[in-house]
């Protein structure tokens, strides 16, 4: 079976161009430049790469971009103080705290301190609550990227059976909530699976759309899925590869080579949802800046 590659590179580039055009317009007509502050605590190598790519993406679309790097030993109160200052700044419309934080910092407290109108990651309970109530304001970027790529490839979601594997607060739960929205172009029937799910394979076999957000390399294999399934692979896992320059390569939670033989459409890793996530962050930041005009 030939499949459609759901290409995050192409779609994210299109989104970036749209954001760049709208940013130019905002600057010209309102003298307003969207601004994003990204905070990184510690030295996690993967987080450093993500923060750098987010800052670069911001600059490319014409945003003000501020990268704040704090040492691993930073105390919770210092980080809260830093967020409070960013909350007050009119030139900063979005605040993002890179995940994961060191264990001595309570993540939920950090997310709750960011003003909901600057919460471009959508992790504040206010924004999560709005999503569940069906009146989303800021939606987490990765789930938003999943829906966006499916919409842009005109993959029907209405009434279809979606199986989401993984129930994290940043991916699984919000993506399930998005698919279940009544008026979001989605309106799907959702099954949310996790490590306590009995007979995962039976659920996967019934899925018309699968979203994998597990964090286990190539966990979903071809024999678990049915012909014609649409697969969105959110997973980003490093596996050792002595042949590569870095000594590792990135793979998803889905065995791409096997599953793509049965799938109607599938996202690659890399080149899929990771790129969409950054593009959605730009969209959310632009929206946060635009919202300040409406609030004037």
Ligand X SMILES: NC(=O)c1ccc[n+]([C@@H]2O[C@H](COP(=O)([O-])OP(=O)(O)OC[C@H]3O[C@@H](n4cnc5c(N)ncnc54)[C@H](OP(=O)(O)O)[C@@H]3O)[C@@H](O)[C@H]2O)c1
Q: In the annotation, is 183 catalytic?
A: no
Q: In the annotation, is 81 catalytic?
A: no
Q: In the annotation, is 91 catalytic?
A: no
The Cα–Cα gap between 168 and 158 comes to: 24
**Shortest Cβ distance from residue 187 to ligand X (Å)?**
24
H/E element holding 9? helix 8-30
Q: Of 118, 119, 121, 173, which is the active-site residue? A: 121
The residue number with the shortest CB distance to ligand X is: 168
Q: Of 98, 137, 181, 218, which is the active-site residue? A: 98
The Cα–Cα gap between 29 and 23 comes to: 10
The Cα–Cα gap between 269 and 46 comes to: 15
**Shortest Cβ distance from residue 186 to ligand X (Å)?**
19
**Shortest Cβ distance from residue 129 to ligand X (Å)?**
20
* C-beta closer to ligand X: residue 34 or 166: 166
Query: Binding residues for ligand X, per CB under 6 A?
Result: 142, 165-168, 170-172, 193-197, 200, 213-216, 234-237, 273-274, 277
The Cα–Cα gap between 83 and 77 comes to: 10
Q: What are the strands, taking DSSP E only, across the chain?
A: 4-5, 35-41, 64-70, 94-97, 161-165, 189-193, 209-212, 230-233, 237-240, 248-251, 265-266
**Shortest Cβ distance from residue 210 to ligand X (Å)?**
12
C-alpha 134 chain-centroid distance: 19
> Taking a C-beta distance cutoff of 8 angstroms, is the pair 294, 287 a contact?
no
> Taking a C-beta distance cutoff of 8 angstroms, is the pair 73, 79 a contact?
no
* C-beta closer to ligand X: residue 35 or 274: 274
* C-beta closer to ligand X: residue 151 or 194: 194
* C-beta closer to ligand X: residue 191 or 197: 197
* C-beta closer to ligand X: residue 31 or 195: 195
**Shortest Cβ distance from residue 141 to ligand X (Å)?**
7
Q: Which residues are catalytic?
A: 54, 98, 121
């Amino acid at each position: 079976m030939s499949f459609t590659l759901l290409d995050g590179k192409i779609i994210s580039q299109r989104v970036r161009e749209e954001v760049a055009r709208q940013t130019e317009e905002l600057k010209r007509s309102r003298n307003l430049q969207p601004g994003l502050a990204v905070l990184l605590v510690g030295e996690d190598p993967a987080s450093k790469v993500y923060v750098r790519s987010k800052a670069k993406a911001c600059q490319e679309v014409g945003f003000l971009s501020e990268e704040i790097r704090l040492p691993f030993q930073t105390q919770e109160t210092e980080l809260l103080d830093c967020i409070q200052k960013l909350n007050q700044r009119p030139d900063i419309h979005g605040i993002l705290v890179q995940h994961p934080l060191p264990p001595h910092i309570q993540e939920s407290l950090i997310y709750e301190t960011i003003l909901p109108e600057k919460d471009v990651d959508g992790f504040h309970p206010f924004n999560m609550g709005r999503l569940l109530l069906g009146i989303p304001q800021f939606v987490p970027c990765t789930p938003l990227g999943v829906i966006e790529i499916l919409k842009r490839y005109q993959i029907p979601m209405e009434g279809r059976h979606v199986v989401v594997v993984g129930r994290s607060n940043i991916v699984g739960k919000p993506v399930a909530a998005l698919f279940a929205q009544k008026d979001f172009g989605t309106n799907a029937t959702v099954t949310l699976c996790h490590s306590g799910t009995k007979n995962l394979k039976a659920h996967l076999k019934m899925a018309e759309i699968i979203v994998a957000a597990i964090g286990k390399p190539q966990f979903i294999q071809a024999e678990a899925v049915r012909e014609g399934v649409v697969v969105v692979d959110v997973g980003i896992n490093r596996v050792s590869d002595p042949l590569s320059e870095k000594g590792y390569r990135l793979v998803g939670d889905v065995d791409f080579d096997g599953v793509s033989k049965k799938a109607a459409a599938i996202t690659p890793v890399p080149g899929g949802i990771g790129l969409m996530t950054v593009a959605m962050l730009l969209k959310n930041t632009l929206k946060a800046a635009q919202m300040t005009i409406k609030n004037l």
